Amino acid sequence: MATRAADLTAVPDRVMLDANVLLAATDEGRAEHRDALTVVNDGLGLSLPDALGNVRAIRERTTLLAEDSKVTDRLLGLLADVECRGRQIHDANVVATMLVYGIGAVVTINVRDFARFGGHVDLIRL
């Protein structure tokens, strides 16, 4: 079962943001927009200069993780442990990356996408 981001009493030191959280933060039409902005902690503008500033702000607040041979090896092990097919492999790769870098929680809108990995990482629903 996933914890809702708004219900957290303490934020984990490190979490993975699923891409859908960043998309929701940039799309005012999404139901999760306000919650996503809270998680990202930055209101995102619509003009090109604002968008570029937001990318810079996100880059300053985040760490880009390399998908190297360690991640590939962990992915192969994870796929042997958890049944995945098609696009689910992308989510498995996200989890493999998290595991290699010692990240224990993922913030996502699509908890169902990551539910199969609940034994490996904590799920935080936006």
Write out pLDDT tens, residues 107-120.
999 999 999 999 99
Residues 68, 61 contacting (CB under 8 angstroms): no
Q: What is the pLDDT of residue 123?
A: 95
User: Distance between CA atoms of 91 and 109, rounded to whole angstroms?
Assistant: 13
Q: Any residues with CB less than 8 A from the CB of 15 and at least 6 apart, and which?
A: 103, 105, 106, 107, 124
Q: What is the pLDDT of residue 71?
A: 98
Q: Given the structure tokens 């993922």, which residue do they identify?
A: 106
Q: What is the pLDDT of residue 44?
A: 39
Q: What is the pLDDT of residue 83?
A: 94
Ranges in the chain, pLDDT < 70: 41-48, 51-52
| Helix, coil or strand: residue 10 | coil
> pTM for the full model?
0.70
**How far is CA 41 from each of CA 36, 61, 107, rounded to the nearest angstrom?**
8, 10, 14
Q: What is the pLDDT of residue 41?
A: 58
User: Can you give the residue ranges of every domain in the chain?
Assistant: 69-125
| Helix, coil or strand: residue 23 | helix
